[in-house]
Amino acid sequence: MPTNVEMEKIVSLCRRRGFVFPSSEIYGGLSSCWDYGPLGVELKRNVKEAWWKAMVQNRDDMVGLDTSILMHPQVWAASGHLDGFSDPLVECKSCHLRWRSDDLESDKCPSCGGELTESRQFNLMFKTFMGSTEEEANEVYLRPETAQGMFVNFQNVLQTTRKKLPFGIAQIGKSFRNEITTGNFIFRSREFEQMEVEYFVKPGTDENWFNYWLEERYNWYLNLGIKKDSIRLRKHAEKELAHYAKACSDIDYLFPMGWAELEGVANRGDFDLVQHAKHSGKTLNYLNKETKEHIVPNIIEPSAGVDRSVLAFLCNAYDEEPDKGDTRVLLHLHPSIAPYKIAILPLSKKENLATFAKDIYTNLRKHWMVNYDDTQSIGRRYRRQDETGTPLCVTVDFQSLEDNKATIRDRDTMRQIRIPIDELKTTLQTKLEGEDLFVLPPGGQIWKEG
């Protein structure tokens, strides 16, 4: 069964523990804008890092890119965003709710029956001005997707990397859409981060590659712990397809508000390169050295939302357990995305023990994000780490000073082992990689709590 966690619980945990704060909170916040706190920024970085590892680092056929948010205005003419990236908007004169007029069946407000304004095309791109004068010639847009930065650099990447088809370009970055409706916490906001790949293939092989990427991306979520019954593939109907797409499927997650898109995988055909060649006057194609043939590659685009992934991982990980008349809240985050991998907890603040524990802390933090916590009771500290998803806690006590051993506690099972400090780094490493806690290093023993 999917975890039926309410969104309020996630929002409250995020606020309480420092994952996500409302933006500009001391001024009352700014609608649909969010700030990632000390733990949120680690989680988000780890999600992006896991994606980069899978998509770039571990592949021969992929290179990365980081393009600017502001681009030449012609880019958006070529891409179709200037004309096509708009929704017909009407506003209710009484309650001021805004609607897409093509969704409405009557000319009255569906909410209060009030009178509606004239319909106008509302472009979802944020417009701003470059330089010191606000005139039309200086109009630029905040990019509504990172994709275009990769299309316009197709030739640059090809020339500098000598990649052969099929190959891909990967990019992570912020995008901006002035959505008519936002909401569901960090699920839909006007400023958001994307993880996108543009994968260039020979025409005719595009359908196979489309299926390949759909499966590859679906498995990426499963490998990071997303429960199988909380994720699904959904093929777009013909009328849902964007103007550029030959085919598109969504990877949906079962969020508290229902199934919603986590990532879209699209077969864009040759639309983008053809459009940019036409508008720029430059040649954007690929020379097949064997056949001496110039071809325009087709493009498969797996496009994921960082913020949505973060929210999905949080919802997926959230758990509550009865605990001696109380409730233990914990996040079963996959170790590779957990904000802290390890917490060092000295049983007392006494100086000799503190020095001993700090030593361990200093050594381990070279390898992982490690948290040091010596305030309040050990029970309270374990709960705090559970609630923020720290997979392993290392506890040192006064006996440690004599036998040079420490205790490792597992977040999910609360089981413990006691091992020599010399074995600590290697053992933590193997446990974070998924080895069973009770596989013991030399000199290790199973430990009972309390």
**Nearer Cβ to Zn ion (90/296):** 90
Q: Which of 239, 219, 241 is nearest to 231 (CA)?
A: 219
**Nearer Cβ to Zn ion (95/257):** 95
Q: DSSP states of 230-295 as a string?
A: GEEEEEPPGGGS-TT-SEEEEEEEEETTEEEEEEEEEEEETHHHHHHHHHH-----EEETTTTEEE
The stretch near Zn ion (CB under 5 A) out of 113-121, 237-245, 392-400, 401-409 is 113-121
Residues binding Zn ion: number (CB under 5 A): 7
- Choose which of 89, 109, 310, 432 interacts with Zn ion (CB under 5 A): 109
Rule CB under 5 A: say whether 111 interacts with Zn ion: yes
Other CB atoms closer than 10 Å to residue 300's CB: what's the count?
A: 29
**Nearer Cβ to Zn ion (110/443):** 110
**Nearer Cβ to Zn ion (18/114):** 114
Rule CB under 5 A: say whether 117 interacts with Zn ion: no
Q: Are 284 and 192 in contact (CB under 8 A)?
A: no
Residues 182-201 that bind Zn ion (CB under 5 A): none
Rule CB under 5 A: say whether 439 interacts with Zn ion: no
**Nearer Cβ to Zn ion (116/266):** 116
Q: Which of 255, 218, 222 is nearest to 234 (CA)?
A: 218
Rule CB under 5 A: say whether 114 interacts with Zn ion: yes
The stretch near Zn ion (CB under 5 A) out of 3-11, 110-118, 151-159, 278-286 is 110-118
- Choose which of 43, 92, 125, 424 interacts with Zn ion (CB under 5 A): 92
**Nearer Cβ to Zn ion (94/355):** 94
Q: What is the DSSP letter of 80?
A: T
Rule CB under 5 A: say whether 93 interacts with Zn ion: no
Q: Cα dist. 1→143, 227, 230, 254 in Å?
A: 39, 9, 8, 11
**Nearer Cβ to Zn ion (109/314):** 109
Query: What six digits make up the tokens of 413?
Result: 């099972």
Q: How far is the CB of 108 from Zn ion (least distance, A)?
A: 8
Query: What six digits make up the tokens of 227?
Result: 């429960």
Q: Which of 369, 266, 254 is nearest to 311 (CA)?
A: 254
- Choose which of 70, 95, 130, 439 interacts with Zn ion (CB under 5 A): 95
Tokens 């989680």 belong to which residue? 43
The stretch near Zn ion (CB under 5 A) out of 90-98, 313-321, 392-400, 409-417 is 90-98
Q: How far is the CB of 124 from Zn ion (least distance, A)?
A: 22
Cis peptide before 166 (omega within 30 of 0): yes
Binding mask 145-174 toward Zn ion (x if CB under 5 A, else -) reads ------------------------------
Amino acid making up residue 377 = S
| Separation between Cα atoms, residue 216 and residue 221, nearest integer Å | 9
**Nearer Cβ to Zn ion (92/353):** 92
Tokens 């905040």 belong to which residue? 142
- Choose which of 16, 31, 84, 112 interacts with Zn ion (CB under 5 A): 112
3-state class (DSSP) for residue 333 = coil
Please count the helices (runs of H) and the strands (runs of E) in the chain: 13, 24
Q: Which residues of the shown chain bind Zn ion in the complex (CB under 5 A)?
A: 92, 94-95, 109, 111-112, 114
